[in-house]
Structure 1
Amino acid sequence: MIRPILALTLFFTLSFSSQAQHDFDELYESNAVFKDHIESHMANYQLFGQESILEIKIKSDFKKLNNKKDTSKYQKAVIEYAYNDTVTIHRKIGVRARGNFRRANCSYPPLKLNFPKKKAKLDLLKSFDKMKMVGNCKSGNTYEQYLLSEYYVYKMLNIMTDSSFRVRLIRVNYYDTGKKRGKIESQRYAFLIEPTKAMADRLKRHIDEETKFHYGQFPAENRHMVTIFNYMIGNTDFSILARHNMKTIMPNVKSDYILPLAIPYDFDYCGMVDPPYAIPADILPIDDITQRLFRGPCEPFEIYQPTLTKFRTKKNQLYDLISNATLLDKKTKVRMTSYLDSFFETLDNESRLKKELAVNCK
């Protein structure tokens, strides 16, 4: 009896043995049992609704990838997932490096995975296209802890609001095909970020990349959540209006009352993570990213109260997330917990909080 197939079967090619390999689409069309099984188990499955760690292998010429000057073009790669002892799922994809700074300063730049979808037979497969994968900047436990810290920052935002990108932790074997006879370069944690379209669809919205907005057009609950959350984690590397590390999504139903939502992402430059390569922008009045700086709009303090109350309500969940994170080492847990402590100490000091929200607001 075949157990329920994970969502990654939507991405890859199915192989029942090393001698007989089957393309997913071909098998889906030709095998009625397989087709019925997929349709019955995939109807309500969400790749980013799972907490288990996926083990995958990515094969590509990584030396060539890291040395490429033109990062807009994808190069060939294969991604594999061991379904069980006899079944391996694999699919040809495209990969490219992303992030100019990290490409120049990291041994392993973050990747964008391009899953072919034009000829996909299953409708659910067509909803996936390009997906961001965040990995270690460099090898070693220290940088792995930075990666895991950022992953848990995403999970913190998920606790605070559904209007956020979901993430899925994975364990990756990097197989360098550029080496003689191929070579496993390393095995490292990484995480996948929910594709923007998938996030927008989940929230019954669509992406808007062109309309110019002002702060007042974003619901108070949304703009306050984004700015207070980034203040909590010590992140200044964002802009709601300029869409810097930010996506804007709009309601699918047209209305005279426009309610865009701002969805932040990329948190490796925050004080909660505190990697050595992260420094604040020269124009900011701080010397270190661990120094908090409020980057939200100037509004009466009373308007922020519902959002501030929500942070107090979710306080224990945020602490529990860190304390129950078995992959974080003791040093990282202490650092992240202490950083949370300082935020909630400010939250409980009204005069100090008023000053923090007023001095550098925009």
Structure 2
Amino acid sequence: MKGKMLFAAALLSASSTVHAAPPEPLFAADQPLALEIRGAIQKMMRGDRDRSDSVPGTVTVKSTGESLPVTLGLRGITRMRKETCQFPPLRVSFTNPAPTSVFARQGRLKLVTHCRNAQDFQQHVLLEYAAYRLYNLLTPVSFRARLATIDYVDDAGKPITSRVGFFIEDDGSAARRNGLRKARVGQRVPTRQIDPAAAARMVLFEYMIGNLDWALQAGPAGEPCCHNGRLVQPAVAGQGLIPMPYDFDYSGLVDAPYAVPPEGFTEASVRERRYRGYCIHNDAVLAAAGDFRARRGAFLAELNAVPGLDRRRAAKASAYLEEFFALIATDQSVRARVINRCLKV
């Protein structure tokens, strides 16, 4: 009962927002976009793949014919390496799109791309997109994603490829949509400053999808907390920080060919789950597990509704989620098979 009360109170603090804003047009709808992205993309990729490199380009919305000037840049760490991805993730920077544009009020956006030209990599993109959708079911305090079919064209007008990808909502936009603000933090954050229910929700979700490539307390050297996550906070002082996770390509759910457990982990593959929650959040995790169980049907339905995800991949991903639900079937099994492996602060 104590855990459920903590969970409910923290949910109230996370959802009792002030000055919340409606979602921006790009993330207010779910139907996939049809786009053309034009620029010296291949030239940029054949170079040293420096994240500081950028080229001018255009994004054209096929349904309206609207063409927007943008700056295209490379991003990522592992996926930016030539030996990993033929086509690394992009950063697309807009300059004051018109208020009527689907890209209205967008600045710099992350675009998740297909990594390699083989058709299988389309399925990995769709499974990572599905992970964002699954987390959206748990809380509005999460990154929204918008799927798109994109024709990539070089600056001379020659087609490069046509592949699926998706844009990820900016953290500032996600915060404003929930009446929250981006947290100003250093590289490390004390665990006790993080909202218990929000922490429980995130770690249990990462456990569900089999992801080890994240950190709740710290960011990479020289960067703010947290690794593969961003922190937001309520406007009211004294309320806990809320983590919003992203980058799920190293998860067992996605099972990308290049994905391996991070350094320091003994798991043989990313399909092996490992619980990484903190013991101080155990009560909140028990309460969160009940919420996950209640959403089992919604999770599976959402996964199977992803446009373009083939039946074989959807079935494999559904079976992987079902393994998780077997582990959290009761509070007793959560205690015995999950949180007994919790980490001490």
- TM-score, normalised to structure 2, is 0.84
C-alpha distance in structure 2 between counterparts of 1:123 and 1:218, whole Å: 38
Q: 1:93 aligns with which of 65, 70, 83?
A: 70
User: Which residue does 1:245 correspond to in 2?
Assistant: 228
One-letter code aligned to 1:71: R
Q: 2:90 aligns with which of 107, 111, 114?
A: 111
Displacement of 1:251 after TM fit?
2.0
Higher relative contact order (CA 8 A, sep 6+): 2
C-alpha distance in structure 1 between counterparts of 2:195 and 2:227, whole Å: 19
5+ residue gaps, structure 2, are: 1-21, 219-225
Q: 1:182 aligns with which of 146, 157, 182?
A: 157
Displacement of 1:302 after TM fit?
3.8
Are the equivalent residues in 2 in contact too, given 1:293–1:360 (CA < 8 A)?
no
User: Which residue does 2:193 correspond to in 1?
Assistant: 217
User: Which residue does 2:148 correspond to in 1?
Assistant: 170
Displacement of 1:252 after TM fit?
2.7
Secondary structure class of the residue paired with 1:284: coil
Question: Could you report, residue by residue, the CA deviation over 1:156-196 in whole angstroms, capped at 9, with x for unpaired residues?
Answer: 0001111110000001000012xxx4311111110010111
Displacement of 1:49 after TM fit?
1.8
Tell me how many residue pairs correspond in the alignment. 310
Are the equivalent residues in 2 in contact too, given 1:165–1:263 (CA < 8 A)?
yes
Question: Could you report, residue by residue, the CA deviation over 1:238-296 in whole angstroms, capped at 9, with x for unpaired residues?
Answer: 0111100010112234x2x1321111000000000001100002311311100001111
User: Which residue does 2:247 correspond to in 1?
Assistant: 266
Question: Could you report, residue by residue, the CA deviation over 1:77-118 in whole angstroms, capped at 9, with x for unpaired residues?
Answer: 11111234xxx211111011111211211011000001123x
CA RMSD of aligned residues (A): 2.2
User: Which residue does 2:52 correspond to in 1?
Assistant: 72
Residue 334 (structure 1) aligned with residue 315 (structure 2) = yes
Residue 51 (structure 1) aligned with residue 26 (structure 2) = no
Alignment of 1:1-362 (within 5 A): 46-69=25-48, 70-84=50-64, 88-104=65-81, 105-117=84-96, 127-177=105-155, 181-211=156-186, 212-242=188-218, 243-253=226-236, 255=237, 257-299=238-280, 301-348=282-329, 350=331, 352-354=333-335, 355-362=337-344
5+ residue gaps, structure 1, are: 1-42
One-letter code aligned to 2:274: L
C-alpha distance in structure 1 between counterparts of 2:60 and 2:87, whole Å: 19
User: Which residue does 2:13 correspond to in 1?
Assistant: none
One-letter code aligned to 1:136: H
One-letter code aligned to 2:202: V
C-alpha distance in structure 1 between counterparts of 2:305 and 2:130, whole Å: 11
Are the equivalent residues in 2 in contact too, given 1:209–1:247 (CA < 8 A)?
no
Question: Could you report, residue by residue, the CA deviation over 1:39-69 in whole angstroms, capped at 9, with x for unpaired residues?
Answer: xxxx986321211111110111122211343
C-alpha distance in structure 1 between counterparts of 2:217 and 2:240, whole Å: 14
C-alpha distance in structure 1 between counterparts of 2:128 and 2:41, whole Å: 24
Rg larger in 1 or in 2? 1
Displacement of 1:123 after TM fit?
11
Question: Could you report, residue by residue, the CA deviation over 1:280-331 in whole angstroms, capped at 9, with x for unpaired residues?
Answer: 0231131110000111111374442220110011111001112333411111
Deviates more, 1:153-162 or 1:280-289: 280-289
C-alpha distance in structure 2 between counterparts of 1:121 and 1:275, whole Å: 37
User: Which residue does 1:28 correspond to in 2?
Assistant: none
C-alpha distance in structure 1 between counterparts of 2:192 and 2:32, whole Å: 40
C-alpha distance in structure 2 between counterparts of 1:112 and 1:294, whole Å: 32
Aligned-residue sequence identity (percent) comes to 25
C-alpha distance in structure 2 between counterparts of 1:340 and 1:66, whole Å: 36
Secondary structure class of the residue paired with 1:336: helix
Displacement of 1:347 after TM fit?
0.7
One-letter code aligned to 2:244: I
Secondary structure class of the residue paired with 2:280: coil
One-letter code aligned to 2:160: E
Are the equivalent residues in 2 in contact too, given 1:322–1:337 (CA < 8 A)?
yes
Displacement of 1:237 after TM fit?
0.4
User: Which residue does 1:14 correspond to in 2?
Assistant: none
One-letter code aligned to 1:275: A
C-alpha distance in structure 1 between counterparts of 2:281 and 2:233, whole Å: 26
Q: 1:207 to 1:323 in 2, by over 3 A?
A: same
- TM-score, normalised to structure 1, is 0.80
Displacement of 1:151 after TM fit?
0.4
One-letter code aligned to 2:198: N
